[in-house]
Structure 1
Amino acid sequence: MKVDDLVKRVDQLITMGQEVLATRRHMDWGGDFIDSGLMGGFRSASLSFIERIYGSNHPHFSEVKEGAEGSRPSDAEKCIAVLRAVRSEIEGGWLFSIKGLITAEVFADFIEMAEHLLDTGYKDPAAVMCGGVLEEHLRQLCLKHKIETVTLRDGKEIPKKADTLNADLARAEVYTKLDQKMIVGWLDLRNKAAHGQYDEYTADQVKNLLSSVVEFTARVSV
């Protein structure tokens, strides 16, 4: 999903929250309240969106889940405030910067595991793991540069294959045509490993794949 689409969705949720606040009524026996049904829908939609973007362990998610449980105006106001913070982070590019840092740490762990597999004689799973790191890096680069990572088929979103992501990134000049050609070769080796064609490549080629992917992901970072 593109940044503009994310911002548009946040704006829709903020508008929903403002509509909930518009139901504010004063009760002599207990102060001000808002429509509980509308608030429940607004809270659920906000939590769903925040979880999809940040995950359920992020403070934004916890703030809404634990801090906006009731039907008071303050509950809706708190939820709206969190959504505005989310909007600011998305527009400012902070969302993808944070994801890039997290991704780099995860990639480093997987590369280390792949190196261990290779050192202990397991070239085939090492090649598959390294190829997985490369494919996810391509996907993250697409997100960073606002390139679609899915295609529509019969009304459903289908993830693009790594070769397509590679071509799209090169076309957008995120990296060079030479990089694109090298990545084609790396993905071909990964595919051979994934499809059991183990005799068509050597441990040395997997070692070169590992070092190449490490260099590429560091040079063309998310």
Structure 2
Amino acid sequence: MNDRLKKRFQELLNEANRIYDRYQRSESPNSHIEESDWRLGEEKWFASVDSLIAKVFGEQSPHREKFAEIPSGYSKDDSVFRSRLAIFQAAKEDYDCGLTDLRALISADVFSDELEQAEELLAANYKTPAAVVAGTVLETTIRSLCDKHGIQNDRKTKLDTMNSELAKVGEYNKAKADQVRAWAKIRNSAAHGHPEEFTETDVKLMIAGVRDFVANQLN
């Protein structure tokens, strides 16, 4: 995922340089650049940058809000474009430094499957959000199984309680319940900001285990 986003940032920077070059050439007496070509290229760039910033930093991020404040309309001078470009360059610099909103990465729609999200995050060295995503899948599955057996599972019901109740009704055995408890512990450590309590290997095994658990229990 990191490589794809990095590539996209660079592509849009290259396109920005081409747009700026058009502005410079338009000042020449020999310029024959059609205004409609400018309008189309610049508007397409604006929309692409807005989408990328929202995906990487979040819909409500400062970069996105500042970028959205600038009118999307075309202007004959380069003042509006330069304002847009400055924000884009700041966002790119923050991305290059790793200053992204991990919540946005988790919810990005580039992945159709949540466990694939977790795998991609882990591969990108984001073990904490990867564990949170896998843990969310686990809890959602547990709640579905509780619904199946008529077991209480409102927001106040703890995962450990639901897990124990499912073992009692025979949904799975004690060994599986212990495994669920171990996965839940990793998820809780990740959610409460204690990454030192688990390793990347722990998360890798958790993702694989949760995938099997979902397949076996919901089939």
TM-score by length of 1: 0.50
Letter in structure 2 aligned against 1:162: E
Instruction: Quote how far apart the aligned CAs of 1:160 are.
Output: 3.5
Map 1:182-193; keep pairs closer than 5 Å.
185-192=138-145
Q: How far off is 1:58 after superposition?
A: 0.9
Structure with more relative contact order (C-alpha pairs < 8 Å, separation 6 or more)? 1
Deviation string, structure 1 residues 96-129 (Cα, Å, up to 9, x no partner): 1xx35xx5xxxxxxxxxxxxxxxxxxxxxxxxxx
Give the whole-Å Cα distance in 2 for the aligned partners of 1:197 and 1:217. Answer: 27
Q: Flag the structure with higher strand content.
A: 1
User: Deviation of residue 170 (structure 1)?
Assistant: 5.7
Task: State the 1:198 CA deviation.
Answer: 5.1
User: RMSD of aligned C-alpha atoms?
Assistant: 4.5
What is the match of residue 45 of structure 2? Answer: 46
| 2:92 matched residue in structure 1 | 87
Verify the 8 A CA contact 2:117 2:133 in the aligned structure 1: no
2:148 aligns with 197
**Cα distance in 2 for residues equivalent to 1:34 and 1:75:** 19
Give the distance between the partners of 2:81 and 2:133, measured in 1 at CA.
48
Distance (whole Å) between structure 1 residues aligned to residue 153 and residue 159 of structure 2? 10
Task: State the 1:165 CA deviation.
Answer: 3.4
Q: 2:191 maps to what in 1? A: 217
The amino acid across from 2:158 in the alignment is N
Partner of 1:164: 116
User: Which consecutive residues of structure 2, in runs of 5 or more, have no partner in the other structure?
Assistant: 162-183, 196-219
Shift of 1:83: 2.9
Q: Give the share of equivalent positions with the same residue, in percent.
A: 8
Unaligned residue ranges in structure 1 (runs of 5+): 104-135, 144-148, 151-158
Cα separation, partners in 2 of 1:190 and 1:50, compared to 1, 3 Å: farther
Shift of the alpha carbon at 1:215?
5.4
> Which residue of the partner structure matches residue 154 of structure 1?
none
Aligned partner of 1:74 among 74, 79, 102: 79
**Alpha-carbon distance between aligned partners in 1 of 2:158 and 2:21, rounded to the nearest angstrom:** 58
> Of residues 52, 66, 69 in structure 2, which corresponds to 1:59?
66
Aligned residues: 158
Distance 1:170 1:49, change over 3 A: closer
